[in-house]
Amino acid sequence: MAGVQLKDVEKVYPNGFKAIHGIDVKVIDGEFLVLVGPSGCGKSTLLRMVAGLETVSGGEIRIGDRVVNDLEPMERNIAMVFQNYALYPHMSCYDNMAYGLRNRGVPKAEIAARVAETARILELEGLLDRRPNLLSGGQRQRVAMGRAIVRKPAVFLFDEPLSNLDAKLRVQMRIEIKRLQADLNTTSIYVTHDQVEAMTLGHRLMVLNGGNMEQLGTPIELYERPATTFVAEFIGSPSMNLLDARVSDDGAVVKLPDGESWTRADGGGRHAGRTVTLGVRPEHFDITGGDDGEAHLHVALVEHLGADTLIHGHIGDDRNALTVRLQGVVTARMGDVLPLRVAAKHLHLFDPETGKRLD
C-alpha cells in the first residue's frame, strides 16, 4: 500500500490543449480521494495520468516513494475500474479476473485462491464461468471491481464506475464501494461528476474546474465553507442560492438590491460597504420567524418531495431568484409572500469579480 503525491502536475494534449493546470495534492495511505467536477474539467485526464495511460507534461507523480512519471501502467501497481467496465468479452469472469495475475506470473494455485476469495467478497461465486455478455450491468460492474481487487494493488483508480447503472443500483454499489474500500483500506482515487456520490464516498474531495483545482477538503468543509462560488453551486442539492448584495456601511447587515436585508453574525465592520455575491443554501432558510427587517419571498412555484418542500420564488424584483428548502410539508401557494430569515452563520460572502470566498 502507498500514498499518491502529485506535484504541480500539468497536462498538455498533443493538439496543444492544456487540460490540467498545475495540480498539487498528497493522498495519504488508505485515503479515499474523490475528483469531482463538471464534464470536461479534466478529471479523467488527471486520473489517467496517475494510471500511466496519459503522459505527464509537467510536474511529478509519486506512488509510494517512487516517481512514476515514466513507468508503464503495469509497473505502477495500480488497478483501474472503467466506466464501461472494459471487461474482456471473450473471457469468462474467472479469466477476466485471473488475466492480470497470470501476466504477473502468479502461481496457478494462488490465482485460483485469490479469485475465489474475491468472488466471495463480491458475491460472484455462481458467475465465474460466465462470459460478461451474459451478466447484468450490476454484475459486470462487480466483475470489473473484482478484476481490480484481486490484484491487491497499491492504489485503486475509478473513472465514473457507476454512471452506467440505474439509479437504484447506483446507490447500492456506492455503499458497497465505500464498505470495500474501508475493509481493504487501499488508497483510492475516484472520479465522478455526481456530487452526491462525491460527498458520500470521499474522505476528501477535490473540485476541478477547467483543469484547475477549485478546492480540496472534506465533504463537510466543502459544504460549510466553499472556497468559491463554483464550489458553492456545485456541492449541495439544490444548489446554493447566489444573490447580488451589498454589505451595509457599518458592516452589520447584507442588503439585497431592493433594500431588504439579513443581519450578519459579527458585524465587525469587515467588507463594510462592499458589493458582494451572497450565498445561502436552500435548506438554511427559515420562514417561521418574525417580520422585522427580514427579506420577503414571493412564491412562484412549490414542489412537494414528501420529506421536504421546495419553494421557488424571488425577493423583490425578478433578479434575485432563489430556491428555499423546508422540512416536511409546507402549504404555500403561488403569489404568497413569506418572511425569509437566515441564521447569520449561514451567510456566505463571495467576491463578485473573482468568485472567491470573503471571510
Ligand X SMILES: Nc1ncnc2c1ncn2[C@@H]1O[C@H](COP(=O)(O)OP(=O)(O)O)[C@@H](O)[C@H]1O
Q: Which is nearer to another protein, 82 or 194 (CB)?
A: 82
Count Cα neighbours of 337 within 13 Å in the Cβ-side half-sphere: 7
Q: Which is nearer to Mg ion, 92 or 164 (CB)?
A: 164
- Cell numbers 483508480 correspond to 157
CB 183 within 8 A of CB 176: no
CB 358 within 8 A of CB 286: no
Over the window 66 to 95, marking each residue x when it contacts another protein by CB under 8 A and - when it does not, the resulting string is ------xxx---xxx-xxx-xxxxx-----
Neighbour-count burial for 84-112, b at 16+ CB within 10 Å, e otherwise = ebebeeeebbbebbbbbbeeeebeeeebe
Q: Is 45 in the site for ligand X (CB under 6 A)?
A: yes
Question: Residue of minimal CB distance from ligand X?
Answer: 44
Give the separation between CA 67 and CA 345, rounded to whole angstroms. 44
Instruction: Give the Cα-Cα-Cα angle 3, 147, 127 (nearest 5 degrees).
Output: 150
Helix, strand, or coil (residue 97): helix
Sole binder of ligand X in the list 34, 43, 154, 207 (CB under 6 A): 43
> Measured from the CB of residue 45, what is the shortest distance to ligand X in angstroms?
3
Q: Mark the segment that binds ligand X (CB under 6 A) among 37-45, 230-238, 254-262, 303-311.
A: 37-45
Give the separation between CA 163 and CA 178, rounded to whole angstroms. 16
Sole binder of ligand X in the list 2, 6, 19, 111 (CB under 6 A): 19
Count of positions on this chain that bind ligand X (CB under 6 A): 12
Sole binder of another protein in the list 22, 30, 100, 339 (CB under 8 A): 100
Sole binder of ligand X in the list 2, 33, 34, 41 (CB under 6 A): 41
Q: Is 103 in the site for ligand X (CB under 6 A)?
A: no
Q: Which is nearer to another protein, 150 or 198 (CB)?
A: 150
Which 44-63 positions form the footprint of another protein (CB under 8 A)? 51-53
Helix, strand, or coil (residue 43): helix
Give the separation between CA 33 and CA 14, rounded to whole angstroms. 28
Count of positions on this chain that bind another protein (CB under 8 A): 24
DSSP letters spanning 100-168: HHHHTT--HHHHHHHHHHHHHHHT-GGGTTS-GGGS-HHHHHHHHHHHHHTT--SEEEEESTTTTS-HH
Binding partner of 331, given Mg ion, ligand X, another protein, none, CB within 5-8 angstroms per partner class: none
Which 28-57 positions form the footprint of Mg ion (CB under 5 A)? 44
| Site of interaction with another protein (CB under 8 A) | 51-53, 72-74, 78-80, 82-84, 86-90, 99-100, 103-104, 131, 133, 147
